[in-house]
A and B are shown apart, each in its own frame.
Chain A
Amino acid sequence: MRKHLARRLARIVPIVVLISIVTFALLHLAPGGPAGVLSGSARMSESDLARIRGNLGLDKPLPVQYLLWFKKVFLGLDFGNSYATGEPVARMILDRLPATLELMGAAFALALILGVSMGVVSAVRRDGPLDQLFSLVSVAGLSMPVFWLALVSIYVFSLKLGLLPSGGRETIGAPPGFLDHLRHLVLPACALSIGFLASWSRYTRAQLLGAIREDFVRTARAKGLSETSVIWKHAFRNAALPVFAVVVMQIPALFTGAVITETVFSWPGMGRLFYEGLARHDYPRVLGVVVISSFLIIVFNAIGDLLYAAVDPRISPGGAPSAVDTSAEDA
């Protein structure tokens, strides 16, 4: 186990380096480039552009540019300065991190609580009306484009009903308050959580149904324990840890959702930072966000993998289900 942990940790650095190289190469493939965006106006002469390129270090050969970037990151966690604003990228990311974590945390909690409850109810009342309803909800959740759900919820709750704000993290000009904050959080968090809610409820249902079929549950029933006790104390305990492992492994996918959700709701987080950076050819910003989120994702993946192995001794480390495997057994 310890050996496996060491192996996983040792792999983090090379993977993140590889991702940074691929991202770096792709960024420089893109037509246009940062100098063009910076120049903006047509009055910029060719020599001005050359000077800008020189200042940004864009006139050096690509491998040299990459190595210079890598050196700064490796030695000082310095991700360079944004081409667009001149701010240090590391500070930009740190500034946006709380908003992103708040949104992800809220969506995560929502999806976990609702998803697991739905899964448990579905498994206990298998094939009942609630099970069918929840299974419909979860297939629908997996088929729904996040940005569309966001748009529709803005239309209904902000524009038509006027209940909730349509974007931002707080009302501009209004005194900051918890309630105001919460009202801004509701729609983005719900939109972001739907896909996770869908897949976690399916996974919980499948795991719990599997546990209910096991011998120890039959024994517990035979002992005359109440159904509540059988389900919660015996079956659910056994189903909970693999569910938890999958949940942990899917936390990284929250980053994907955050890019879209933050963009639609003008949420000032890392996802939007990435999107704007990409649109403006702000290479240091894009690279910084990709590298930091890759790092987080790999760490979470490793945790999920280890948890799964720790829970079930039959499974050798590395054999945990993939983050995308959300299948629910029909048997």
Chain B
Amino acid sequence: MRDNAYGAFANLGSALAPVRGVRLDGGGFFASKGAAFSLILILLVLTVSALAPLLMPHERDAMNLDSILAPPSAEHVLGTDDLGRDVFTRLIYAGRFSMLVALCSVAIALAIGVLLGAVAGYFGGAADAAIAVVIDLFLSVPVFLVLLVAASAGGGRIWIVPLVIGGTSWMETARVVRSILIPLREEGFVEAARAAGAKDVRIVVRHMLPQALPAVVVSATVGFAQAMLVESALSFLGFGVQPPVPTWGNMLQNAHVFIGRAPLAAIVPGFMIFITCLSFNYVGEGLRRALAIER
């Protein structure tokens, strides 16, 4: 059944079954405790972030210059930051923005990657060659440097950040989709669809792309962690999401200055980035195993 790495998932339902926990085969997603635990952790972080306004007693941006860098107390569980804002409140709100930016970045990267990968894989020839050149170009430039320049050109507008991250991280997805579609061109069901008069777009979307779905899901999961790391680095350096909108990255902007006085405020946001990315990477590995995707 698994002679072709992707042939085993000819239809959408069986491809996503392990994700829904419907089918639990031996090598499946929940066979790995790490992946299962990570999924729970992600859901927990998502839920708490979503409910932030209900849970948090403090205003997100409320400053109190009389209690700057205060140590943890009953009122401020994680203390306050360099402007006297409650670190715990900002931490929870930051989760929303960090994850939202990562999500949008991944969505943009997937849109570009799947589109270009599908065009290259389905049409081949000149289109394939042209797209290969573009992919090569993006893989051979100092993406992070250009990304920093682009983000600074954006002047701190929040929607620039996912645009810039997504626009520079679609190459892996494009490669994967292309490599899956190329052998499918010769398959009987594609020939049949073509003989039945189906248009190119319909053949690709209805018949070929579903086969690439498992690989795209994995690539999106791992991509989420990567996008979050890039956003946090951008925001940390001051070129990403700008305060007062908090993200886990920009909460650390002045951390090296005050880490001696308020270590928790400097350590906890980074820890949130770390465990969230770790969880997404574990879920990605679990999915790869469960969906039997070889790379």
Question: A residues within 8 Å of B by Cβ?
Answer: 15, 18-19, 22-23, 26-27, 29-32, 139-140, 142-148, 151-152, 154-155, 159, 252, 255-256, 259-260, 263-264, 274-275, 278-279, 286, 289-290, 293-294, 297-298, 301, 322-325, 327, 329-331
By the criterion CB–CB under 8 Å, are A148 and B270 in contact?
Answer: yes
Question: A297 is contacted by which of B142, B171, B295 (Cβ under 8 Å)?
Answer: B142
The docked-state distance in angstroms from the alpha carbon of A264 to that of B249 is: 13
Question: B285 is contacted by which of A139, A159, A286, A325 (Cβ under 8 Å)?
Answer: A139
Question: B294 is contacted by which of A22, A32, A329 (Cβ under 8 Å)?
Answer: A329
Most A C-beta atoms less than 10 A away, residue of B175, B256, B295 = B256
By the criterion CB–CB under 8 Å, are B146 and A155 in contact?
Answer: no
Question: B residues within 8 Å of A by Cβ?
Answer: 137, 139-146, 148-150, 152-153, 155, 171-172, 175, 225, 229, 232-233, 236-239, 249, 252, 255-256, 259-260, 263, 266-267, 269-271, 273-275, 277-278, 280-282, 285, 288-289, 294-295
Most B C-beta atoms less than 10 A away, residue of A26, A325, A329 = A26
By the criterion CB–CB under 8 Å, are B274 and A148 in contact?
Answer: yes
Q: Which residues of B lie under 8 Å from residue A26 when comparing CB positions?
A: 146, 149-150, 153
Question: A15 is contacted by which of B141, B233, B267 (Cβ under 8 Å)?
Answer: B141
What are the 9 tightest A-B residue pairs by CB atom distance, in nearest-first order?
Answer: A148-B270, A143-B277, A256-B144, A143-B278, A29-B153, A327-B295, A30-B153, A26-B153, A31-B155
By the criterion CB–CB under 8 Å, are B139 and A322 in contact?
Answer: yes
By the criterion CB–CB under 8 Å, are A256 and B249 in contact?
Answer: no
By the criterion CB–CB under 8 Å, are B139 and A330 in contact?
Answer: no
- For B232, give the chain A residue with the smallest CB separation: A145
By the criterion CB–CB under 8 Å, are B141 and A19 in contact?
Answer: yes
- For B238, give the chain A residue with the smallest CB separation: A279
Q: Which residues of A lie under 8 Å from residue B266 when comparing CB positions?
A: 151, 155
Question: A152 is contacted by which of B145, B150, B236, B270 (Cβ under 8 Å)?
Answer: B270
By the criterion CB–CB under 8 Å, are B152 and A30 in contact?
Answer: yes
By the criterion CB–CB under 8 Å, are B148 and A259 in contact?
Answer: yes
By the criterion CB–CB under 8 Å, are B236 and A275 in contact?
Answer: no
By the criterion CB–CB under 8 Å, are B281 and A139 in contact?
Answer: yes
Given known contacts A145-B233, A278-B152, A330-B289, is B274 in contact with A154 (CB within 8 Å)? no
User: In whole Å, how far is B268's beta carbon from the nearest beta carbon of chain A?
Assistant: 10
The docked-state distance in angstroms from the alpha carbon of A264 to that of B150 is: 21
Q: Which residues of B lie under 8 Å from residue A146 when comparing CB positions?
A: 233
Q: Which residues of A lie under 8 Å from residue B233 when comparing CB positions?
A: 145-147, 260
User: In whole Å, how far is B100's beta carbon from the nearest beta carbon of chain A?
Assistant: 18
Question: B237 is contacted by which of A144, A155, A260, A324 (Cβ under 8 Å)?
Answer: A260
- For A253, give the chain B residue with the smallest CB separation: B144
By the criterion CB–CB under 8 Å, are A290 and B145 in contact?
Answer: yes
**23 residue pairs A–B, Cβ–Cβ below 8 Å:** A26-B149, A29-B153, A30-B152, A139-B285, A143-B281, A144-B274, A145-B232, A145-B236, A147-B233, A147-B236, A148-B270, A148-B273, A151-B270, A155-B260, A159-B259, A252-B142, A259-B145, A259-B237, A275-B148, A298-B141, A301-B140, A324-B171, A330-B285
The docked-state distance in angstroms from the alpha carbon of A274 to that of B288 is: 38
By the criterion CB–CB under 8 Å, are B175 and A322 in contact?
Answer: yes
By the criterion CB–CB under 8 Å, are A147 and B252 in contact?
Answer: yes
Q: Which residues of B lie under 8 Å from residue A279 when comparing CB positions?
A: 238
The docked-state distance in angstroms from the alpha carbon of A286 to that of B146 is: 10
By the criterion CB–CB under 8 Å, are B146 and A23 in contact?
Answer: yes
By the criterion CB–CB under 8 Å, are B237 and A275 in contact?
Answer: yes
Given known contacts A148-B274, A151-B266, is B153 in contact with A289 (CB within 8 Å)? no
- For B263, give the chain A residue with the smallest CB separation: A155
The docked-state distance in angstroms from the alpha carbon of A19 to that of B155 is: 21
By the criterion CB–CB under 8 Å, are A151 and B155 in contact?
Answer: no
Q: Which residues of A lie under 8 Å from residue B141 when comparing CB positions?
A: 15, 19, 294, 297-298
Q: Which residues of B lie under 8 Å from residue A323 when comparing CB positions?
A: 139
- For B147, give the chain A residue with the smallest CB separation: A256
User: In whole Å, how far is B2's beta carbon from the nearest beta carbon of chain A?
Assistant: 11
User: In whole Å, how far is A197's beta carbon from the nearest beta carbon of chain B?
Assistant: 16
Most B C-beta atoms less than 10 A away, residue of A143, A278, A324 = A143
Given known contacts A30-B155, A297-B142, A327-B295, is B256 in contact with A140 (CB within 8 Å)? no
